[in-house]
Each structure stands twice: as C-alpha cells, then as structure tokens.
C-alpha cells in the first residue's frame, strides 16, 4: 500500500451531460446482472452499486434508450471479465488459460449458437449482448465490435503475463497495452449504434480520426489510473497503473508520478481538442456526431470516475476531487516522449490556435 495521494481537480473544459433515463437504465442493468448471474454474488453486489447505468447515460446523453441500456449491460459485463477473470482471480495469473477462455468467448460473440460454455454466466450474457448488437447495429458494426473485443482480450493477456511474473512494463509498453486494456475501443461501435448511423470507412480509418479515438482512449485511461489509484494501490493483489509505472521505472516519488501523469493527460487533452475542432470544420454529419460522442465519452469517464463508489470507496475514502479545472497544468503542443503515440504529433498541421485548450465539446454534432 503506497502513501495516500490527494488528487487535484483535473483539467476538463468539456461540458457534462447525462441521458434523462439514467436511473431506469441503471436499475435495468442491475436486474440484467442478476438474471444472467455475472460474477460471484459478492462481485455482482459490488458491481451493481457502481452506477454503471449512470456512466453509460453520460457516454450517450442523447442516444437511443435501447443502446444506452445495451452499453450499460456491456460495461457491467466487461467489469465481470476485468475484475472477475483478470484482476481478482487466479485465472488472471495464468495467461495461457485466460487466453483459452477469452478465445471461446470470442467464438460465442461471432457465432452465438456455438455449443460452448452453455451455462457459463459470462457466455450467457455475451450471447444476449451479441443479439442486441445485431439488432441495433449493422453486420459490419457487429464485426468491428468483435474485433475490438479481440484487441481488448489480447491486451489483458499481456497484462496477465506481467501479473504472473510480478513485473511492471515500461512506459512505452504500458501505454500500448493501456490503449486497449481499458476496454475503450470496444465502446466505439456502440457510439455509432447509439445514434443509428454508420461511420464511413474512409472517415473512420483516416489517420486523423484514428488519432482522435486513440487520444480519447489515452485520456480516459490516464484519468482512470489517476482516479482509481486509491482503489488499486490498496487492493490485495498485483496492480498496474501509470503512477506505478512512473515510480518503478523513472524513480519518481508518488506525488511526482501523479503530477507527471496529470501533465501527460493535459497535453493529450489539448491536442485532442485542437484535432477535434479541426476535423469538425470539414467533417460530414456522421463524423461530427462521432466526434461529439467521443468527447462525451471522455467527460463521462471523468464525471463517473470522481463520483462512483467504485473509486470513492466510502469505507476507506479516496482523496478525490469533486470538481474540474478549466486550466491545464501543461499545454505544450509537444510529443510526450512515449514513442508508440508520437505519431499523434506528426499529423498534418492543425489549424486551431496552439494552446487554445478551452475548446467546446458539445452542441456541434
């Protein structure tokens, strides 16, 4: 257990938003988890107290009700995998066995009729999620959702090897792993489904859109590392977090590691907002909608991260902020010195004003 860190208000110029049916969606997700039987009773009781429906309602504040509900059940399911199979379980120390389970789950996502894991609650839940993805998305959106699950599973297997060996990856490897193991990319197809459109491949796969999505993943997962540090550093087992990586490999004291992580996410937030505004200027309606949803996703993780009992842990309170800052601690438009993401600064010159970090987030899509 490390020394207690006090987390300062983090920089977020993005306005908050929430779907009006958040309470009903949260209640439906609790009922879904119970019906499917996700996790042990103890884990399930914790998960249904975390306000995951509220989180989903913040990600898609004006999305279709059915898809906000689908997203909510899916995020609870993801925590069933991340907490139940990886971070709090023996399987999470056996990467080979974990990969076998995850492969079988992928087959179920692709072909739900496959006679595998027929009574396993995670498989039962995944079959239901897959049916709803097919109902609200196109075939290619379903295929991308499965591909994104594969990249999430691949990264948690890598993390499991570090857990087994008791090792801490360096910052570059950690960043690469974290772009996927925060399960941010599996949410992206649902952003489209939430508003009933399909982003054209030439828009989705353009380097600038890809960079925006990667930067959103970076901000969401760095924010999670900052806000979940208390929960994670007090957990009984192995834990991995950018603050731990910076302490371990860069010889930083905890408060120095925290300030460094905050500065990194502030710089990426500034870069993200400039890129988003730049893309918005020429984007068609679908890409505008997508970028607006990505931005809601970033803010949702912040609002949920400072308020969910998952992170505030009232029985042993975390020192979390209750508000946000309108000023970055570092607004330099320079690469972070993390090679795997240096390409974000190689995109064609942005037209936005450097340092204009107070850009708007909503009302544009």
Q: Which residues bind to Mg ion, rule: CB under 5 A?
A: 62, 82, 87, 224, 228, 293, 296
Is the Cβ of residue 130 or residue 296 nearer to Mg ion in the bound state? 296
| Cα separations in angstroms, 143 against 51, 139, 148, 193 | 29, 6, 9, 13
* 168 three-class SS: coil
Query: Which of ligand 3E9, Mg ion, none is residue 62 near (CB under 5 to 8 Å by kind)?
Result: Mg ion
Shortest distance, position 56 Cβ to ligand 3E9, whole Å: 9
Contact 207, 347 (CB under 8 A): yes
Shortest distance, position 29 Cβ to ligand 3E9, whole Å: 13
Shortest distance, position 190 Cβ to Mg ion, whole Å: 11
| Closest chain position to ligand 3E9 (CB) | 228
> What pairs with residue 11 in β-bridges?
325
Is the Cβ of residue 19 or residue 274 nearer to ligand 3E9 in the bound state? 19
Measured distance CA(208)–CA(185) in Å, rounded: 16
Is the Cβ of residue 59 or residue 283 nearer to ligand 3E9 in the bound state? 59
Measured distance CA(57)–CA(303) in Å, rounded: 11
Is the Cβ of residue 244 or residue 267 nearer to ligand 3E9 in the bound state? 244
- Binding stretches for ligand 3E9 (CB under 6 A): 75, 78-79, 82, 182-184, 187, 220-221, 224, 228, 301, 310
Contact 294, 203 (CB under 8 A): no
* 325 three-class SS: strand
Is the Cβ of residue 110 or residue 362 nearer to Mg ion in the bound state? 362
The residues near 52 (Cβ < 8 Å, ≥ 6 apart) are 26, 29, 72, 75, 76, 79
Query: Which of ligand 3E9, Mg ion, none is residue 278 near (CB under 5 to 8 Å by kind)?
Result: none
Query: Which of Mg ion, ligand 3E9, none is residue 214 near (CB under 5 to 8 Å by kind)?
Result: none
Is the Cβ of residue 163 or residue 271 nearer to ligand 3E9 in the bound state? 163
* 6 three-class SS: strand
349: left (phi over 0), alpha (psi -120 to 50) or beta: beta
Measured distance CA(100)–CA(103) in Å, rounded: 5
Query: Which of ligand 3E9, Mg ion, none is residue 30 near (CB under 5 to 8 Å by kind)?
Result: none
Query: Which of ligand 3E9, Mg ion, none is residue 204 near (CB under 5 to 8 Å by kind)?
Result: none
Shortest distance, position 231 Cβ to ligand 3E9, whole Å: 6
Query: Which of ligand 3E9, Mg ion, none is residue 306 near (CB under 5 to 8 Å by kind)?
Result: none
Is the Cβ of residue 12 or residue 184 nearer to ligand 3E9 in the bound state? 184
Measured distance CA(177)–CA(277) in Å, rounded: 28
Is the Cβ of residue 214 or residue 277 nearer to ligand 3E9 in the bound state? 214
Shortest distance, position 228 Cβ to ligand 3E9, whole Å: 3
Shortest distance, position 354 Cβ to ligand 3E9, whole Å: 29
Is the Cβ of residue 283 or residue 306 nearer to ligand 3E9 in the bound state? 306
Shortest distance, position 202 Cβ to ligand 3E9, whole Å: 27
The span from the first CA to the last CA of the chain, in angstroms, equals 44
For tokens 């908050």, the residue is 16
For tokens 């009933």, the residue is 196
* 319 three-class SS: strand
Measured distance CA(300)–CA(258) in Å, rounded: 21
H or E stretch covering 159: helix 139-165
Shortest distance, position 165 Cβ to ligand 3E9, whole Å: 19
> What pairs with residue 319 in β-bridges?
6
Shortest distance, position 158 Cβ to ligand 3E9, whole Å: 14
Query: Which of Mg ion, ligand 3E9, none is residue 221 near (CB under 5 to 8 Å by kind)?
Result: ligand 3E9
């Amino acid at each position: 257990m490390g020394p207690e860190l006090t987390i300062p208000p983090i920089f977020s110029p993005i306005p908050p938003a929430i779907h009006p049916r958040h309470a009903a969606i949260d209640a439906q997700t609790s009922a879904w988890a119970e019906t499917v039987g996700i996790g042990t009773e103890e884990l399930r009781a914790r998960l249904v107290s975390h306000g995951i429906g509220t989180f989903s309602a913040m990600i898609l504040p004006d999305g279709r009700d059915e898809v906000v509900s689908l997203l909510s059940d899916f995020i609870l399911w993801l925590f069933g995998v991340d907490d139940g199979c990886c971070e709090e379980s023996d399987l999470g120390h056996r990467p080979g066995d974990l990969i076998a389970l995850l492969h079988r789950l992928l087959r179920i996502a692709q072909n739900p009729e496959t006679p595998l894991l027929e009574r396993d609650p995670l498989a039962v839940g995944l079959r239901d999620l897959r049916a709803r993805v097919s109902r609200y998305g196109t075939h290619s959106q379903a295929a991308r959702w499965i591909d994104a699950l594969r990249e999430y599973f691949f990264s948690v297997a890598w993390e499991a090897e570090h857990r087994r060996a008791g090792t801490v990856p360096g910052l570059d490897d950690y960043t690469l792993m974290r772009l996927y193991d925060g399960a941010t990319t599996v949410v992206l197809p649902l952003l489209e489904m939430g508003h009933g459109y399909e982003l054209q491949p030439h828009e989705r796969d353009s380097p600038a859109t890809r960079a925006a999505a990667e930067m959103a993943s970076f901000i969401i997962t760095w924010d999670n590392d900052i806000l979940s540090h208390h929960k994670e550093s007090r957990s009984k087992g192995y834990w991995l977090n950018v603050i731990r990586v910076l302490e371990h490999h860069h010889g930083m004291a905890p408060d120095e590691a925290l300030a460094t992580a905050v500065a990194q996410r502030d710089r990426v937030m500034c870069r993200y907002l400039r890129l988003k505004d730049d893309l918005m200027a020429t984007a068609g309606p679908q890409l505008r909608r997508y970028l607006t949803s990505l931005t809601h996703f970033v803010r949702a993780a912040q609002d949920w991260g400072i308020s969910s009992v998952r992170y505030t842990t009232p029985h042993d309170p975390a020192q979390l902020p209750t508000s946000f800052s309108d000023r970055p601690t570092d607004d330099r438009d320079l690469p972070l010195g993390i090679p795997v993401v240096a390409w974000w600064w190689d995109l064609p010159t942005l037209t936005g004003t450097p340092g204009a970090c107070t850009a708007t987030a909503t009302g544009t899509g």
